[in-house]
Amino acid sequence: MAAIPQTSVQAARADFYRRMEKHNLAPLWEVLHALVPPQPQTPCRPALWRYRDLRPHILEAGRVISAKEAIRRVLVLENPGLRGQSSITRSLYCGLQLILPGEIAPSHRHTQSALRFVVEGSGAYTAVDGERTTMRPGDFIITPPWTWHDHGNPGNEAVVWMDGLDINILALFDAQFAENYPEDVQPVSRREGESYVRYGNNLLPLGPLPQSRISPLFSYPYGRSRETLHALQRNAPPDACHGWKMQYSNPLTGGFAMPTIGAFIQLLPKGFRSEPYRCTDGTVYAAVEGSGRVRIGDQSHDFEPKDTFVVPSWHAASFQTDSECVLFSYSDRPAQMALGFWRERRG
């Protein structure tokens, strides 16, 4: 039997595909390898944002628009491989928010979970469901989903913090809701620090406990986190990949502080050269102290305090430090682990 010419096979298939289109059908075999690749293939690119380059634009935003008019005056850090999508990774958002002395960012709530990591300035506050916490550099603060929150600055200096949200995760499930509070500022119903008194000292109040999977401890001051890293440094050698690295946790469960976003803080000693490490959760880093270099795949970036960089999914990352460094980071690791497909590789 004579072989069928390849051109005839291609033409027959093309005709078949055209006829099935009107029934909203498509052949899996034409896209199978792209849908199920041998390893993660992300459009995200390694990137670093130098704070000294961003800061003039952040301050100019304060002259261009008020916090009240903007609702949230934020400059979005867009991944160069995802421009126009308000995304730093496929699942996460990152921005730098500015609030000037005397300003208020009006109260609202939304189904997205949010974190704040304070980059510069002191004296501003964020309020979550009736409790305020004063913001200081290095503080990690949680805004649980569907909780009223506003920001204000009764101090005398500009305050900048990093916003991290799970916007794209909610968008994947078409579960985005938002609502504005009828007033700019929600009533204060609890004293500042009450959540830490209740949940931050290895003690729990008697009676019904919060049932949310979000940590009831919504403010994690940098001073306490730094003290913990220093104690670890005195008592144990650094991990070859991570130095001394800790996960912010929910005191009720011991698990992640947020169900969709994991947050971490780590200390790298001076002269540290880490082994390469890769994982499936694309990770956003904020340099808090010290300077050094991060190699991400085949790219190398120098970093200094207040810089931000992103390591995309399954890109090997390694560090070299010029001085002792502290890095804050966040990723979608809790969501991946809950769904059972998170992976890592050392070396």
Q: Render pLDDT for 239-271 as a digit per residue (tens, 0 to 9).
A: 999 999 999 999 999 999 999 999 999 999 999
Phi, psi for 222 (deg, rounded to 5):
-65, -35
Q: What mean pLDDT do residues 74-95 have?
A: 98
Domain edges within the chain: 40-346
DSSP state of 64: H
Give me the CATH code for the 40-346 domain, please: 2.60.120.10
Q: What mean pLDDT do residues 303-317 have?
A: 98
Task: Please check the confidence at residue 79 and state whether its pLDDT lies above 90.
Answer: yes
**Hey, how many other C-beta atoms are within 10 angstroms of the C-beta on 305?**
17
**Intra-chain end-to-end CA distance of the chain, in Å:** 55
Sequence-separated (6 or more) residues with CB below 8 Å from residue 34: none
Instruction: Answer with the residue of higher pLDDT: 285 or 204.
Output: 285
**pLDDT attached to residue 2:** 54
**pLDDT attached to residue 207:** 84
**pLDDT attached to residue 3:** 60
> pLDDT above 90 covers what percent of the chain?
95
**pLDDT attached to residue 7:** 77
Distance, in Å, from the CA atom of 275 to the CA atom of 287, rounded to the nearest integer, reads 19
Q: What mean pLDDT do residues 106-116 have?
A: 98
Q: What mean pLDDT do residues 136-164 have?
A: 97
Give the model's confidence band at 167: pLDDT under 50 very low, under 70 low, under 90 confident, else very high: very high
Task: Please check the confidence at residue 1 and state whether its pLDDT lies above 70.
Answer: no
Please state, rounded to an integer, the average pLDDT across all residues of the chain: 96
**pLDDT attached to residue 210:** 87
**pLDDT attached to residue 211:** 84
Give the model's confidence band at 4: pLDDT under 50 very low, under 70 low, under 90 confident, else very high: low
